[in-house]
Structure 1
Amino acid sequence: MTTTTPPATTVVRTADKASASAERRRRRQPSGRRSTPLTIAMLAVLAYFLLPLVWLLIASTKSTRDLINTFGLWFSEAPQLLTNIRATFSQDDGVFLRWLINTFVYAGVSAVGAALLAAAAGYGFAKFRFRGNGAAFNLVLGAVMVPTTALAIPTYLLFAKVGLVNTPWAIILPSLVSPFGLYLMRVYAQDAVPDSILEAARMDGAGEFRIFFLIVLRLLSPGLVTVLLFTLVATWNNYFLPLIMLNDSDLYPITLGLSAWAAQAQNGGAGASSDMLALVVTGSMISVVPLVVAFVLLQRYWQSGLATGGVKQ
């Protein structure tokens, strides 16, 4: 009986593959090394972001007197969170609920509208070739660098001419334009929407609007959610634009309403109570909750949207 000896090249290849596999396993295993400076830096950044939220949560359980006389990062002897929440919603005939609804409307309509417009424009820039494509996109890039506060006064003058000042449209319409969102969607659509799918849909007789709403939007959904979250947070926290556009307190968003309450608490104006400062803090805590919920519900779409563009197909 004879035995066959494998060629030397086969043995070498097998050994190389085994060595490479062992090397990959070794790299996947944690090294066990720790960097003390990096750990300290990470803890410092974590504290920088979390301490204000912890303070806000604790402060919302205190009365105005306890806010002044007790340690900021610890509870008072008589927490009164529910009492503060009830007082916040009942102050000034329940105007805080109206501010909350206004903010939901402004931020929700602006976020959805800005995301759809950015998706449509970004898809157009990415997949259609027309004269002036590059120049128009460069103009969008230039608009990203313009601070929104520099456009507030021209926007006010323009809206005053057409009679939209002191209306909800004065907040919603400017928020629908998102140059950064358009740039983000253009970059995302470049790789997320294959040309072969578009050509197949056109050969089947689908129109451009049908292709966009039935095919493209599904492919762009992670990037769409990313733009939606950015616009939602920006509109929810917007203060300067409502300040110059709105005069009627019934149209105020939360940011402007709480600012008015804070001014009353500091100046002791009409309608101010001894617990007004506690109501401002509690209202601020309530205003944070919807944003936290939105991020918790949409974070998986947001993370996948940010990661998809970094993988080369």
Structure 2
Amino acid sequence: MSVLTRTEGAHAAPAGRRPRNDASSVVTMVFMILVACYMLLPVYWLLVSSTKSQSDLVTTPGLLPSHWHFGDNLAALFDQQDGVYARWLLNSLLYAGAGAAVATVLAAAAGYALAKYAFRGREAVFSVVLGGVLVPATALALPLFLLFAQADATNTFWSVFLPSVVSPFGVYLSRIFAAASVPDEVLEAARMDGAGEFRIFRTLALRLMAPALVTIFLFQFVVIWNNFLLPLVMLQDDRLYPVTLGLFTWQSQTSRLPELQTLTIVGALVSVVPIVLTFLLLQRYWRAGLAAGAVKS
């Protein structure tokens, strides 16, 4: 009898605590939903405002929809100033896409070298890299402008592209991931088979570091895409502007040309699409690499 009583009590205790766990789960879920709504509120406002005409944008509440004018707004966006917005969008894709790709390759090579090669001053170099992570981009804008001015390279594509291919955070992440995911035994076996160092890096290390490389590319793509201060300092030709700087110039002219306010809002909505597509296209490689790394022995 005593054994049965203890057994029943042991089973009754979790059942008694279950309502408390359910209540905490509900509270957590409600809190997360509220946080998600708060985070998505600007996106909702952007979606609603991009469907309004200029008069509806001024006369109707910001969060309430009005007459549908999204098609007309989109056509006017790409017709404004002989289609300069399409040029801005292409510039941003070149700056962000090519810059993120080059930055990822350079960060992978530097991180791999710092993780797998022992040389004098390695830790000092890594400390400098960490210092670069802590330096804000705003502090580097003026020195970069002075350097490119000395080389007579301001107001060019390279004045925005070249500073974007340096990613101290990418080097840091590459070193950490290379040290954890690239076994020294595999490298030694490849060397014994006669493989050169570059071939080992290209065929073995890059594949094992794939999840980190996708992460670096995504981070760098978003950073370059949202970059505003560096193009503002470097560029004067509006045909070289990225989309962020171009929309800023339109927004600064809305007091004289009120119709630019609607075009700025629609342009901001369109500029989000490449970032969303990039995450959607790369997340499967990201997840596949993480899953493959999770089951390795």
Judge same fold: TM > 0.5, yes or no.
yes
Match 1:71 to one of 50, 57, 61? 61
Q: Distance in 1 between matches of 2:149 and 2:93?
A: 24
Task: Determine if the alignment matches structure 1 residue 133 to structure 2 residue 134.
Answer: no
C-alpha distance 307-240 of structure 1, shift in aligned 2 (>3 A): farther
Q: CA deviation at 1:44?
A: 3.1
C-alpha distance 123-103 of structure 1, shift in aligned 2 (>3 A): same
> Is the 1:118–1:181 contact (alpha carbons within 8 Å) kept by the matching residues of 2?
yes
- Of the structure 1 ranges 234-243 and 296-305, higher mean CA displacement relative to structure 2 is found in 296-305
- Deviation per residue, 1:74-110 (Å, 9 max, x gap): 210x211111111000000110011011010000111
| 3-state secondary structure, aligned to 1:177 | coil
Match 1:168 to one of 132, 157, 180? 157
Equivalence for 1:62:
52
Q: CA deviation at 1:259?
A: 0.5
Q: CA deviation at 1:308?
A: 8.4
Q: Distance in 1 between matches of 2:195 and 2:103?
A: 25
> Map of 1:149-164 to 2, 5 A cutoff?
149-164=138-153
> Is the 1:191–1:309 contact (alpha carbons within 8 Å) kept by the matching residues of 2?
no
Equivalence for 1:281:
265
Q: Distance in 2 between matches of 1:60 and 1:163?
A: 41
Give the 4+ runs in structure 1 shifted more than 3 A.
Answer: 29-33, 35-41, 300-313
Task: Determine if the alignment matches structure 1 residue 43 to structure 2 residue 36.
Answer: no
Alignment coverage as a number of residue pairs: 281
Give, as a single letter, the amino acid of the residue that structure 1 aligns with 2:215.
T
> Is the 1:64–1:278 contact (alpha carbons within 8 Å) kept by the matching residues of 2?
yes
Equivalence for 2:169:
180
Task: Determine if the alignment matches structure 1 residue 91 to structure 2 residue 80.
Answer: yes
Match 2:112 to one of 123, 127, 151? 123
> Is the 1:60–1:278 contact (alpha carbons within 8 Å) kept by the matching residues of 2?
yes
Give, as a single letter, the amino acid of the residue that structure 1 aligns with 2:76.
A
Equivalence for 1:52:
42
Identify the structure with the greater helix proportion. Answer: 2
C-alpha distance 177-279 of structure 1, shift in aligned 2 (>3 A): same
Q: Distance in 2 between matches of 1:73 and 1:302?
A: 35
Equivalence for 1:80:
69
Give, as a single letter, the amino acid of the residue that structure 1 aligns with 2:193.
D
Give, as a single letter, the amino acid of the residue that structure 1 aligns with 2:229.
F
| 3-state secondary structure, aligned to 2:253 | helix
Query: What is the TM-score of this pair, normalised by structure 1?
Result: 0.84
> Is the 1:84–1:282 contact (alpha carbons within 8 Å) kept by the matching residues of 2?
yes
Equivalence for 2:191:
202
Q: Distance in 2 between matches of 1:207 and 1:305?
A: 25
- Of the structure 1 ranges 157-166 and 226-235, higher mean CA displacement relative to structure 2 is found in 157-166
Q: CA deviation at 1:196?
A: 1.5
Q: Distance in 2 between matches of 1:136 and 1:306?
A: 29
Task: Determine if the alignment matches structure 1 residue 227 to structure 2 residue 216.
Answer: yes
Structure of larger gyration radius: 1
Q: Distance in 2 between matches of 1:50 and 1:237?
A: 18
C-alpha distance 306-145 of structure 1, shift in aligned 2 (>3 A): farther
Give, as a single letter, the amino acid of the residue that structure 2 aligns with 1:75.
P
Q: CA deviation at 1:303?
A: 5.0
- Deviation per residue, 1:44-83 (Å, 9 max, x gap): 321222111111111111111111111222210x211111
How large is the Cα RMSD of the aligned pairs?
Answer: 2.4
> Is the 1:226–1:305 contact (alpha carbons within 8 Å) kept by the matching residues of 2?
no
Q: CA deviation at 1:38?
A: 3.2
C-alpha distance 183-307 of structure 1, shift in aligned 2 (>3 A): farther
State percent identity of aligned pairs: 52
Unmatched 5+ stretches in structure 2 = 1-14
| 3-state secondary structure, aligned to 1:265 | coil
Query: What is the TM-score of this pair, normalised by structure 2?
Result: 0.88
Task: Determine if the alignment matches structure 1 residue 243 to structure 2 residue 227.
Answer: no
Q: Distance in 1 between matches of 2:174 and 2:237?
A: 36
Q: CA deviation at 1:246?
A: 0.3
C-alpha distance 97-217 of structure 1, shift in aligned 2 (>3 A): same
